[in-house]
Structure 1
């Protein structure tokens, strides 16, 4: 079985071309291959396959075998893979995901290589029950919550998957390995949650670390960066166009005022091709 390892600013997945080869039991496969000591090493696997709604589909499984709805860095890699490997030789293409069909706009250089991908990530969901959270307010904006014996103020947003944004003074000082699971499995988040810790470092500019449900700390999270941009604008901390610095690199995020859609722009890279038995 052939696979391709790719990453979007350090958020790495193993990609399988299901146009050519089906994958059975992807959850178990993801657990085995994602292990960074005994497997290939990744944040999970992504299956690229046919769709009757779009140019292709993507199906995501986290490192713990759980199924994910959406991945912003992953979908940029799907766009690069689809274009450069001949699945859809289009500079504007569509990808069918568990959270709907997304439109991608590819920047292609003179060598026909995709250098950057802008994704229309759709409209943010701010309704507490639809994120979902169990907070009793209609929206969760700068709302207090006690987690692991400490009070935090959180803003919750869904970008096709649930996010909890926390503003801090020093993001590097956060003990993410210990506090991340306390957020992920907190009872207020019935489907678990991705948590972004954010430090403002300039006008319309912030630094972020992320604890992803099912994968732990990752070097980047595209949907998380989009959720952070929305949370910043809602809280009056920034305008609607921001630069987000993540552990693996930078993403440009724009929350369009007229359409209410969020656009994410960033790179996607091939790492290597491989084969497993």
Structure 2
């Protein structure tokens, strides 16, 4: 964990994290990949919404997910809401509209992560956080293969439904891909936000899972002693940064309509833009 008090410090931390990325060990010609996740409260752990429910054992979580998928498809069709056939597209829709899933949202863009850290941040109550993740390193220590899981269409290797039943699979970094002829609100948002996902098998926080896996001798041998801070780094955004981040996002043109390119984004922008000189968190 690192505390930062300015945008300059944050940029230096991101630069150092990229330089220590494990991706070059796989192919030095490739640039490192970093994913970002912003959270308005620094004390929130990296636990998906599904695992914040106290359902007990793993079987209960799987049962919840399977029933949720079936009911989601059924009710959407009853209402005439079109659904794609791929279980990945159904998952994207569920995740987007708030169904509890085993996934966490990330972005390949630092500005998007910073936006979500800032969006509901009350600096009078807590620090915010920006998490940095090396998805290649994560998948390497989980699967022993330095590659992303690409989620496009259901096949024998990958599908969202298959992931629900996988045992001891661990958390995986997933890059969504879409059919060229499919365009909808969910896909537009994911594309605009450079959205990525981690799929979690257990309710362990991601921070703890990485530490546990790196403690195994097998992973140490295979990974040349990867350190957890080179896989996942939590950056505490101190309350002194609040006004600077607000200005920085405005200067970069990152507002609600940038992140949400639809009518909901416009509505949120209008709400906040109508009170431009006030700190929005005081009125939530």
Q: Report which of the two has the higher share of strand.
A: 1
Q: Same fold (TM over 0.5)?
A: no
The answer to which structure, 1 or 2, has the higher relative contact order (CA under 8 A, 6+ apart) is 2
TM-score (normalizing by structure 1): 0.25
TM-score (normalizing by structure 2): 0.24
